[in-house]
């Protein structure tokens, strides 16, 4: 799903709370060219290498399809809570930020650096549910701010999540009606049985994630973009423990 559509879908979820703007003071930076933006105490200060600093008032941001927007004079700042990774860096930050100064556009990352195991702004392909092999575009989950959007073979499901103490707790807010085959339906049911209670989070490496709960295990990987839309037939997923 495109980034903008994902954000809109999550903010429109039936029981999901509205997203919150970045916490202030808020620091943003870009690397090509080098620049910084700081919002604090009612002001925005933009500094680009080789240019004079630009200061403007920072009013209350407005939430729209492009995320949170601050606009004052020639300075427009837009922030999306989708996660951001600077080029040639393994660090991640919570906010993807664009800044327009007059007719010039700058792209960068904002907020405090995320811990390596933080799910914020990550996307995963579900490849195994309780021993059953699945995968492809119909088996995916995205974490945006404190919301998630999941495809488990039969439905699109949205809601909220909380990650704390090595545990992941997911709360469903709404879902689409959808049809699927017998095996896919059984695996989708097992998926939510496992996630009905908090599950332990374990990273085999930065590209492989394992969720383990009392009702079973779910394995995920970074999406295989070359084969994401290949036709795949799920194998039966194990029955729930007695």
pTM value is: 0.81
Residue scoring higher pLDDT (13 or 105): 105
Range of the domain at 8: 3-110
Three-state DSSP state, 136: coil
What per-residue confidence (pLDDT) applies to 222?
95
CB atoms within 10 A of CB 185: 17
Residue 78 lies in a domain: yes
Q: Note whether residue 242 is domain-resident.
A: no
Q: Using one digit for the tens of pLDDT, what is the confidence trace for 104-159?
A: 999 999 999 999 999 999 999 999 999 999 999 999 999 988 899 999 999 999 99
**Could you say which DSSP state residue 24 is in?**
S
Q: Do 128 and 99 share a structural domain?
A: no
Instruction: Give the domain CATH number at 168.
Output: 2.40.128.270
Q: What integer best gives the mean pLDDT of the chain?
A: 89
Same domain? For 41 and 96 the reply is: yes
Q: Give how many domains the chain has, as a whole number.
A: 2
Burial of residue 11 (number of CB atoms within 10 Å: 0-12, 13-18, 19+)? middle
Q: Within 10 A of 8 (CB to CB), how many other CB atoms are there?
A: 13
- The least confident of 9-13, 23-27, 82-86 is 9-13
Q: Are residues 36 and 99 in the same domain?
A: yes
Q: Decide if 148 is inside a domain.
A: yes
| 18 — pLDDT class (breaks 50, 70, 90) | low
Q: What is the pLDDT of residues 48-59, one digit of tens each?
A: 988 899 999 999
| Structure confidence at residue 17 as a pLDDT band (50, 70, 90) | low
């Amino acid at each position: 799903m495109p980034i903008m559509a994902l954000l809109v879908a999550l903010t429109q979820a039936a029981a999901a709370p509205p997203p919150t703007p970045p916490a202030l003071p808020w620091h943003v930076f870009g690397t090509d060219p080098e620049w910084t933006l700081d919002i604090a105490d009612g002001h925005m200060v933009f500094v680009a290498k080789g240019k004079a600093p630009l200061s403007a008032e920072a009013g209350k941001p407005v939430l729209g399809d492009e995320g949170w927007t601050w606009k004052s004079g020639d300075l427009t700042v837009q922030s999306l809570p989708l996660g951001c990774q600077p080029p040639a860096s393994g660090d991640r930050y919570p906010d993807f930020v664009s800044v327009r100064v007059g007719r010039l556009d700058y792209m960068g990352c904002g907020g405090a650096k995320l811990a390596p195991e933080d799910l914020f702004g990550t996307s995963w392909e579900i490849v195994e549910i309780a021993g059953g092999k699945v995968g492809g575009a119909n088996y995916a989950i995205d974490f945006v701010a404190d919301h998630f959007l999941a495809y488990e073979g039969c439905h699109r499901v949205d809601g909220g999540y909380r990650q704390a103490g090595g545990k992941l707790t997911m709360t469903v807010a709404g879902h689409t009606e959808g049809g699927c085959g017998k095996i896919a339906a059984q695996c989708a049911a097992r998926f939510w049985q496992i996630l009905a209670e908090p599950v332990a989070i374990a990273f085999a490496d930065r590209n492989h994630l394992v969720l383990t709960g009392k009702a079973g295990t779910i394995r995920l990987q970074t999406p295989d973009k070359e084969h994401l839309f290949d036709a795949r037939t799920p194998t039966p997923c194990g029955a729930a423990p007695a």
